[in-house]
Structure 1
C-alpha cells in the first residue's frame, strides 16, 4: 500500500471529529495509542494501520497532523436544512416524510445517537435501530425518559430494560432523580455519523410517523451535531443512568 492509498483510505475512514481529535492529541505530544482514543473502537485498528504507514520520524508526524487537519476541513460542510413532515394522506409537498427516517439510520457508517420520550414497537425506528446496533463498527447511544417507559400501566411502551435488551450492544441511558425530582427527557432527536441532526416534534411511534401532523428539520452540520452529542454525554451520570442489559 502506497502513502497516497493510505491517505485516501484514512480520509474515507475518519469522521471530522475523529480526525480533529487525533490531530489535536498528536500535536500535544500524545502517543499514537493515546491519540487513537478519539476514534471509534471498531475502526482504531484500521486507523492505526494507515497512520503507521504514513508516520515515522518527527517530519512524518507533522505530515500526518497536516493530513488529519485536511480531512477535518474536508469534512466540514456548510449547513444544509431540510424540512421533515408527517401529514395524513402524504399531503406535505416540501421535504421527505418522517417515514424516511429509518433509511437515514440504515445508512449510518459510524454512530447513531437517539433521544426520545419513549419508544413504541410500532415505530419504524424500533427495527432500524436494532439493525444498526448489531452492525460492526457503528456505535449506538439511546436516551429515554424513565418514568414514561417504566411506569406500570403505560400501554405498549417497552420498558427501558426491554429497550436495552432489544438494542444490545447499544448503550441505553434513562433519566434519574436530580435535585429531588425526576428528570423528564422530552428531547426528540437523532444524530447520525456526527454530522446529521434530526430534530422533530414526532414521538417514535407509528401514529406520529404516519397519521399525525408533525414537523421536524434535518440539519447537516458537524459542529452543531457534535455539540449536541457532547452535551448529552456530559449529562450522563448526573441526569441519566446507564440501563444494564439483561
Structure 2
C-alpha cells in the first residue's frame, strides 16, 4: 500500500488489520459501548500541594516530551518558528480551556511530525491542511472519547502497536537522518534517541526529559571538542 499510495497506506493497514483481527476472533466486543461525551465545566480548585506535585511535573513533561521535540521536528523539516509567541499562545489556550479538561494544549511532537511529512502533502507550503484535518479529528475523538477507548480495548494490542509503529516509520527514519547527518552532533543525537527510547523514569520524570538533558550534556562536551 505504501508503494502504491503512501498517503493512504496507514488507512489500508487499519482496515485490513481490523478485518484480520475480526476474522481471527481476536476482537472482544463484550464490554464495547457507544456513547457521546460532551464537554463539562469543572470549577478549578488551586492548592499549593497540587501545584507542586502535579502541575510542575506536568509542565516539565510537556516541555520536554512535547514542546521541545515538536519545535525540533518542525525546524528539522525546514519550518522557521517563532518559539516564544507559540509557547505564549498555547499556554494561554491551555489556561483558558483548562476548566473543561483541556489542559494539555501544547506543540504536539508526534502530531507535528506526521502533519509535516511528505505523505501529508507533496507541497511543503500546503501541509497546514493536514494540521487542520488533525485538529478536526481530535475534536471528534474528544466527543467520542469513551467509545474510541472501548474500541481500542476491544482490539488486539499487537495490532494497535503495529499500526502506531507503521504510522511513525517515515517520521522516525527522516528524523534519524536529520539528527545523524552532522558528524559534530552525532554523539549527542544518538544519546538523546537511545535515552528517550529506553523509557527510563527518574524522579517521576519520563525518558524524553532525560534524553534531552543527556543529549545537551553530550553536545556541550563532544561537539565543542570536535570543533576545537
Interval containing the TM-score (normalised by the shorter chain): under 0.3
TM-score (norm 1): 0.26
Task: Answer 1 or 2: which has greater strand percent.
Answer: 1
TM-score (norm 2): 0.27
Report 1 or 2 for greater relative contact order, CA contacts < 8 Å, sequence distance ≥ 6: 2
